[in-house]
């Protein structure tokens, strides 16, 4: 499973490096894109687990000291974005590990990454539409 993760990362990195506009910013661009996609998948996974299997919402931060919207934003950042960011950093960017990964995995001209990215962002919307229709 980690092999697929690395293949997507290598595809993302090499695709970003091809764009002259990303010459210096490709680490930030790739980190943001992959973290966003992974966070969307993580939200979907936790929602399915909480709603259909555990039947209780447990993965949340409740603070009565700040307004609800601010609490939701802080919760989302700390519970979904930050864990994905940390995982991505240590598995890909720590000690420039991406150099080894680029040598090991093939480049799919960005198709693998774009498929993963679009699927990650659209799947929750599709599921919501299906649930509304049913």
Domain positions in the chain are 2-133
- Provide the CA 52 distance to its chain's centre, in angstroms: 22
Whole-number pLDDT of residue 1: 80
The full DSSP string for 60-83 is ----SSS-HHHHHHHHHIIIIIHH
100 band by pLDDT with thresholds 50, 70 and 90: very high
Please spell the DSSP secondary structure of 6-19, one letter per residue.
HHHHHHHHHHHHHS
Render pLDDT for 22-57 as a digit per residue (tens, 0 to 9): 989 999 999 999 999 999 999 999 988 888 888 777
The CA distance from 9 to 7, in Å, is 5
Instruction: Judge whether residue 59 has pLDDT over 80.
Output: no
State residue 58's pLDDT score.
Answer: 75
- The pTM of the full predicted model, rounded to 2 decimals, is 0.88
Q: pLDDT, tens digit, for every residue of 69-85?
A: 998 899 999 999 999 99
- 10 near 105, Cβ under 8 Å? yes
Question: pLDDT above 90 covers what percent of the chain?
Answer: 73
- DSSP state at residue 93: I
Q: CB–CB of 42/126 below 8 Å?
A: no
The overall average pLDDT reported for the chain is 93
């Amino acid at each position: 499973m980690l092999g697929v993760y690395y293949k997507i990362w290598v595809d993302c990195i090499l695709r970003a490096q091809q764009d002259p506009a990303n010459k210096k910013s490709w680490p930030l661009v790739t980190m943001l894109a992959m973290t966003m996609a992974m966070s969307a998948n993580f939200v979907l996974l936790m929602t399915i687990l909480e709603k259909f299997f555990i039947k209780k919402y447990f993965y949340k931060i409740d603070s009565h000291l700040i307004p609800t919207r601010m609490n939701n934003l802080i919760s989302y950042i700390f519970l979904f974005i930050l864990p994905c960011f940390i995982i991505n950093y240590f598995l890909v960017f720590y000690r420039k590990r991406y150099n080894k990964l680029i040598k090991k995995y093939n480049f799919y001209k960005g198709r693998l990454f774009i498929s993963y990215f679009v699927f990650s962002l659209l799947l929750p919307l599709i599921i919501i539409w299906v649930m509304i229709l049913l």
